[in-house]
Amino acid sequence: MDAESVAWLRALREDREAAAARLHELLLQVALREAGRRAPRLRITGPELDDLAHQAAADAVVAVLAKLDDFRGESRFTTWVYRFVILELSSKVGRHFWARDGVRLEPEEWGQLPGRLGLGPDDRAEWEETMSALRRAVEERLTPHQRRLFVAIVLNGVPLDALVVELGSNRNAIYKTLFDARRKLRAALVADGYLQSDDAVAP
């Protein structure tokens, strides 16, 4: 383990309060900079965004202190703790969207999908049949849970981390559900001749 990581661990165990304050200072810098990096895509600015960064840094310090014994030295200690604050920031942003915009699980916004997939109005006649087949597959091949998540994320543009809050779930469970849904939809479109065949299995 590198000397700086050893020093951090020792300080957080032997002089916890002072070291935790230094850790908070470090993570706050990371959170503020990361929030700024994401700002153009978030539609959150100014004090509101700074507040999310402060919350993320504070919660990350608590999480790091609680999991200190889990650190195995696979990376530098600082890299390990950066991960905590970045994941906390994502979680705070997801919760912010959930509270501000709500989560629309229905009705479906099918009209937006062709544009997002780069399909323009000029060749509508060519892609309309494929889009109809996709819609049919969503309605007939997906389970109600898969359909619900597909509609929310793919059609209605709900951020995945906001859906995590709404459903009391976690990112991995939602991703896995969507992964399986995408696989089913592709298989249906391949079977009906709309897409070319390719193999895919679950993670």
Partner 1 sequence: MTDFSALERFLQTDPRDVGCEQALAVLHVYAEFVASGAEDPEGRFAGVAAHLAVCGPCGEDFEGLLGTVRTPPGAQPTLRDPD
Kindly state the smallest distance separating residue 18's Cβ from partner 1, in Å. Answer: 18
The only residue of 11, 50, 51, 78 in contact with partner 1, by rule CB under 8 A: 78
| Burial per residue of 32-69, b for 16 or more beta-carbon CB atoms within 10 angstroms, e otherwise | bebbeebeeebebeeeebbebbbbbbbbbbeebeeeee
The only residue of 55, 130, 156, 169 in contact with partner 1, by rule CB under 8 A: 130
CA 109, 187, 200 angle in degrees (round to 5)?
A: 110
* Binding track, positions 10-49, relative to partner 1; x by CB under 8 A: ----------------x--xx--xx--xx-----------
Helix (H, G, I), strand (E, B) or coil at 15: coil
Which residues lie below 8 Å from residue 164, measured CB to CB, with a gap of 6+?
91, 94, 170, 171, 174
Kindly state the smallest distance separating residue 117's Cβ from partner 1, in Å. Answer: 4
Instruction: Give the residue with the Cβ less far from partner 1, 14 or 53.
Output: 53
The only residue of 14, 17, 69, 198 in contact with partner 1, by rule CB under 8 A: 198
The only residue of 69, 126, 140, 197 in contact with partner 1, by rule CB under 8 A: 126
- Contact between 52 and 96 under an 8 Å Cβ cutoff? The reply is yes
Under rule CB under 8 A, which residues in 99-118 are in contact with partner 1? 116-118
Interface with partner 1, residue 76, by CB under 8 A: yes
Query: In which residue are the tokens 């230094």 written?
Result: 22
Helix (H, G, I), strand (E, B) or coil at 117: coil
The only residue of 13, 22, 136, 176 in contact with partner 1, by rule CB under 8 A: 176
Four-point Cα dihedral 194, 195, 200, 203, nearest 10: -80
Interface with partner 1, residue 68, by CB under 8 A: no
Query: In which residue are the tokens 């793919």 written?
Result: 154
Q: Name the site residues for partner 1 (rule: CB under 8 A).
A: 26, 29-30, 33-34, 37-38, 74-76, 78-80, 82-83, 86-87, 89-90, 116-119, 123, 126-127, 130, 134, 154, 159-161, 170-172, 175-176, 179, 182-183, 185-186, 189, 195, 198-203
